[in-house]
Each structure stands twice: as structure tokens, then as C-alpha cells.
């Protein structure tokens, strides 16, 4: 007698929305949008594409916790690998052990995300940990191909700049703010959290400002993390 198995497909659907929104908007902005630097719409598109870039990494991050496609590890890994690769050619098998090391040794010398210092040295340390020379090479090759096919200002504004801004966004809201400074001895996760504001928490970094909550309940996907906020 076959036993029915129920899979939760919501994470897959949400990951697909983020990935295809990023691809679709990028295709439109490269092929059909005439850049006007005086138009607020141009900068809205830059910010929107930045947010979707951040969503790619957050999707890859959730895959590292097995919550994009729970119960289907192969599909979960594929989605995570695709999302990571689309974000500046990040390599999922390299990110996975680093992220779990961060959770095991949060805000200690063994934490690859942590740096005992001020903002800019920490940011540079963060970049060194997560950007490799082969990524830079692939980005350079892609840039040179794209600028042959599409207007240069579109390539820079909507493909290059959002990737850089998203890296800054992920670092600032998801690493620096939650882990900077000293934490109380009874703070098990050595993490702080932002004040409750679900709209700002989503806009700023897909609820990862609720960072203590993430470390406390890493089994919650980003789109359910707000539920852990007291």
C-alpha cells in the first residue's frame, strides 16, 4: 500500500518568483529601457534590481538550511546552486560549509563572517571571504560580452551596480548590524535583532534584520521569519 507524502511547495514557488523576476526585469532593462538619469524611474529600477539580487542570495541561503524544497534535498540543492550562481557566480558548494560554520561559531574567531573591527575593514574581510578570483574573471568576461550586445549604461546600471549594492545590503543588514559590538553573556546566538517592523524588515533584507530569530529558528524560511518576532 503506497503511503502518501505531502511536500510543501511554497518555498519552491517563492524561489521561482524571485529568480524569474530577476531574470525578467534584467532582460527588460537591458533590451527595452532607455536610461534617463534625470528620471526617478531609472533609480527605482536600480533599487528594485538590487532587491532582487539580494533575494537571489537569500534564496541560496535558505537552500543551505534545506527550507526551499523541504523533503527534496536534490531539488533544494539545485535551486540554491542556481540562485547563488546567478548572483555574481557564487559557488553553492563553497558557500554551504562557510555558512554552517558561521552558525556553529557565530561571532567568534572561527566564524568566517565575523571580523573584530570597524565597519570598512569588516566589509573588506567579508568580501575576501565570499568573492574569488574566478568570480571576478567570469564577471569581467560577462561584462565585456553584455556591453557588446546592450547599451553600456544599461549594463552598468542594471547588471553591475545592483550586484555591488546587494553585496553591501546583505553585509550591512545581515552581518554587520546583527553581530557588531558586545553581546550579553546570556545571548546564546551572539546576535541582535531590529525593532519589529515587518515592512522595513522585508525591504531592508528579506526579514534578516530579525537576525537573532533566524539563529534561534534556522528552520524557518525567510518568508516565515517574521512569525518568530515577538
pLDDT tens per residue across span 38-94: 999 999 999 999 999 999 999 999 999 999 999 999 999 999 999 999 999 999 999
In a domain, 57, yes or no: yes
**226 pLDDT higher than 70:** yes
Report pLDDT digits (tens) over 82-125: 999 999 999 999 999 999 999 999 888 898 889 888 899 999 99
Number of structural domains in the chain:
1
In a domain, 138, yes or no: yes
In a domain, 3, yes or no: no
Domain membership of residue 79 as a residue range: 10-224
In a domain, 2, yes or no: no
pLDDT of residue 4: 42
**2 pLDDT higher than 90:** no
In a domain, 1, yes or no: no
In a domain, 4, yes or no: no
pLDDT of residue 134: 94
**1 pLDDT higher than 60:** no
pLDDT of residue 184: 82
In a domain, 159, yes or no: yes
pLDDT of residue 168: 94
The pLDDT mean for the chain works out to 93
Q: 3-class secondary structure for the chain?
A: CCCCCCCCCHHHHHHHHHHHHHHHHHHHHHHCCCCCCCCHHHHHHHHHHHHHHHHHHHHHHHHHCCCCCCCCHHHHHHHHHHHHHHCCCCCHHHHHHHHHHHHHCCCCCCCCCCCCCCHHHHHHHHHHHHCCHHHHHHHHHHHHHHHHHCCHHHHHHHHHHHHHHHHHHHHHHHHHHHHCCCCCCCCCCCCCCCCCCHHHHHHHHCCCCCHHHHHHCCCCCHHHHHHHCC
pLDDT of residue 214: 95
In a domain, 229, yes or no: no
Amino acid at each position: 500500500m503506497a503511503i502518501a507524502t505531502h511536500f510543501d511547495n511554497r518555498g519552491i514557488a517563492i524561489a521561482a518568483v524571485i529568480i524569474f523576476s530577476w531574470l525578467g526585469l534584467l532582460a527588460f532593462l537591458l533590451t527595452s529601457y532607455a536610461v534617463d538619469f534625470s528620471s526617478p524611474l531609472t533609480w527605482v529600477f536600480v533599487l528594485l534590481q538590487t532587491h532582487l539580487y539580494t533575494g537571489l542570495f537569500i534564496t541560496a541561503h535558505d537552500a543551505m538550511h534545506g527550507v526551499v524544497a523541504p523533503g527534496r534535498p536534490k531539488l533544494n540543492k539545485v535551486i540554491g546552486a542556481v540562485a547563488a550562481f546567478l548572483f555574481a557566480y557564487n559557488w553553492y558548494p563553497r558557500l554551504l560549509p562557510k555558512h554552517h560554520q558561521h552558525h556553529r561559531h557565530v561571532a567568534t574567531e572561527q566564524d568566517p563572517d565575523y571580523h573584530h573591527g570597524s565597519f570598512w575593514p569588516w566589509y573588506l574581510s567579508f568580501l575576501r571571504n565570499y568573492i574569488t578570483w574566478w568570480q571576478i574573471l567570469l564577471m569581467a568576461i560577462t561584462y565585456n560580452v553584455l556591453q557588446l550586445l546592450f547599451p553600456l549604461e544599461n549594463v552598468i546600471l542594471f547588471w553591475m551596480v545592483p550586484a555591488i549594492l546587494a553585496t553591501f545590503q546583505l553585509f550591512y543588514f545581515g552581518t554587520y548590524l546583527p553581530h557588531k559590538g558586545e553581546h550579553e553573556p546570556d545571548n546564546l546566538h551572539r546576535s541582535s535583532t531590529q525593532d519589529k517592523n515587518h515592512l522595513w524588515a522585508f525591504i531592508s533584507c528579506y526579514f534578516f534584520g530579525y537576525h537573532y530569530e533566524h539563529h534561534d529558528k534556522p528552520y524557518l524560511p525567510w518568508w516565515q521569519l517574521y512569525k518568530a518576532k515577538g
